[in-house]
Amino acid sequence: MKPKEMNKLFKSLGLKKVNKGASVGGQWFANSGDFLEVNDPTTGTVIAKVEQASAKDYQKMVATSQKAFVEWRNVPAPERGEIVRQLGEALRAKKDDLGALVSLEMGKILTEGLGEVQEMIDICDYAVGQSRMLSGPTLQSERPKHRMMEQWHPLGIVGLITAFNFPVAVWAWNTALAWVCGDTAIWKPSSKTPLTAIACQNIANEVFKRNGVPEGVSCVIVGRGSVIGEKLVNDGRVPLISATGSTKMGKRIGAIVGGRLGRTILELGGNNAMIISEKADIKGALASAFFGAVGTAGQRCTSTRRLIIHHSIYNKFLKKLIANYKNVNIGDPLNKRTLMGPLIDDTAVADFKNAINAAVEQGGKVLCGGEVKRRKGSFVLPTIIEIENKAAIVQSETFAPILYVMKYKTVDQAIKMHNDVPQGLSSAIYSDSMSEGEKFISYLGSDCGIANINIGTSGAEIGGAFGGEKETGGGRESGSDSWKAYMRRQTNTINWGGEVHLAQGVEFKS
């Protein structure tokens, strides 16, 4: 991005060349003297700095957020929803700028940056409706003239730890719901993408201030994992931690928060596969596999990492897919003709190279790509490797555009291979056979949190619960009844008849 354009973008989103990393309400602060450099992955240059928050800054934030919670929970849920509606409107107004900033800082192409902001808008709309539907059932009591019911109450402070790859959408999935549920939020964004977080907080600050929302309902804190992340996950004043990232990180957070009997929503690694049957619509399967594997430069947790292809169409299908791969326009994500931007940084490029070397050592054959692109920035070539599912490298998630391909003979064999990985996020089958499709989404089929027929593994809509099984962590965010994770459940029994009856027929009289 040209300096003039960048200045304009920064101005529109309230960013500076040197920013403070912590905000509660309208104020920005941070006094660690420890500056984070924000890298543009396309050029490899530093575009801004952020002063990271200190442990003291964190303490101030939690205290303010706790106070804010006590007030915020008194605001009726539909009124909280109205404020989230206004946030959705403010995001609509800033969609182009915020989408461009996502592309600049994270490296995904502009249409995907805009799509991510659209996800934020969508979840705001969803949360507005949800704010009038935080309902619990009325239950039949076994005692005469009694009634039972369930209520859902606000929980407290929600600690959010998000990853670089969806630097803004995951914040909105969590906060839009948390806020209508009456919670406050402290957001620790990825240190690789702090600018998008600061921009989002500026937008929220403006809407919240206009509505007199207590300071501390929306907080953002940019800081080191070893300082701020550690404090957040260990803090008994934060009843829920929602974290997106690697399985390694999730196992650690799960153990710490579990140790204090707090709650977690963990959205961790995926190893998503698509089964392509000989009964598939090949054109559709090609388009979905291509987007799933190459889109976002393979940096979605839902990215397609494995293709399990019926042996009778294997060669024909791969020939077409490789032809698509050879035509991928790689470059500046803000250029409309670009299909694949850079990886987030040089560490990601090193992980890409290491995974390819490991795959070759483990018997893999590189069918296309396999190299780093010789230009400034963190660019690699989208890669296809023929390899066996059981190879160690195929069993782990590499956050890069590497697609492992393999053959199958029977659909049962394909499903077995499909499930034979430690992760369980997203999955798909391409088949026009109704029984193959139904089997894939049955209890005998995919063991993932998301299982699709005739669409790809990535690009889930916000209306469904998002998350996965096994090493993906088990959490669910976004749609369906995921809101329940942000509230505490209460069972109420009401005696309206006057006489005391003990449950289970117990008699207790002197």
The catalytic site residues sit at: 267, 301
Who's near 397: CB < 8 A, 6+ residues apart?
246, 247, 269, 270, 271, 301, 305, 423
What residue has token string 């069972």?
491
Separation of CA 452 from chain center: 18
Cβ contact 136:483 at 8 Å: no
**Contact between 184 and ligand UN1 per CB under 6 A:** no
Burial letters for 62-93: b for 16+ Cβ neighbours within 10 Å, e otherwise? bebbeebbeebbebebeebbbbbbbbbebbee
Helix, strand, or coil (residue 141)? coil
* Sheet containing 45-51: order of strands: 18-20, 45-51, 35-40
**Contact between 301 and ligand UN1 per CB under 6 A:** yes
- How near is the Cβ of 248 to ligand UN1 at its closest, in Å? 16
Q: Which of 397, 430, 404 is nearest to 288 (CA)?
A: 430
- Provide the 10 A C-beta neighbour count for residue 392: 10
**CB closer to ligand UN1 out of 207 and 243:** 243
- Provide the 10 A C-beta neighbour count for residue 423: 24
Q: Out of 167, 333, 370, 459, which residue is the one contacting ligand UN1 (CB under 6 A)?
A: 459
**Contact between 302 and ligand UN1 per CB under 6 A:** yes
Site string for ligand UN1, 103-142 (x = CB under 6 A): ----------------x-----------------------
Distance, first Cα to last Cα, the chain = 84
**Contact between 196 and ligand UN1 per CB under 6 A:** no
Site string for ligand UN1, 211-250 (x = CB under 6 A): ---------------------------------x------
Quick one: CA dihedral 333, 335, 339, 340, positive or negative? negative
- How near is the Cβ of 212 to ligand UN1 at its closest, in Å? 33
**CB closer to ligand UN1 out of 184 and 302:** 302
**Contact between 300 and ligand UN1 per CB under 6 A:** yes
The single-letter DSSP state of residue 309 is: E
**Contact between 166 and ligand UN1 per CB under 6 A:** yes
- How near is the Cβ of 169 to ligand UN1 at its closest, in Å? 6
**Contact between 325 and ligand UN1 per CB under 6 A:** no
**Contact between 440 and ligand UN1 per CB under 6 A:** no
Burial letters for 242-277: b for 16+ Cβ neighbours within 10 Å, e otherwise? bbbbbbebbebbbebbeeeebbbbbbbbbbbbbbbb
**CB closer to ligand UN1 out of 40 and 119:** 119
**Contact between 273 and ligand UN1 per CB under 6 A:** no
**Contact between 23 and ligand UN1 per CB under 6 A:** no
**CB closer to ligand UN1 out of 154 and 341:** 341
Segment holding 505, helix H or strand E? none
**Contact between 460 and ligand UN1 per CB under 6 A:** yes
The single-letter DSSP state of residue 215 is: T
**Contact between 75 and ligand UN1 per CB under 6 A:** no
**Contact between 458 and ligand UN1 per CB under 6 A:** yes
The single-letter DSSP state of residue 228 is: I
**CB closer to ligand UN1 out of 370 and 459:** 459
Q: Out of 23, 32, 130, 165, which residue is the one contacting ligand UN1 (CB under 6 A)?
A: 165
**CB closer to ligand UN1 out of 134 and 460:** 460
**CB closer to ligand UN1 out of 244 and 398:** 244
List of residues contacting ligand UN1 (CB under 6 A): 119, 165-166, 244, 300-302, 458-460
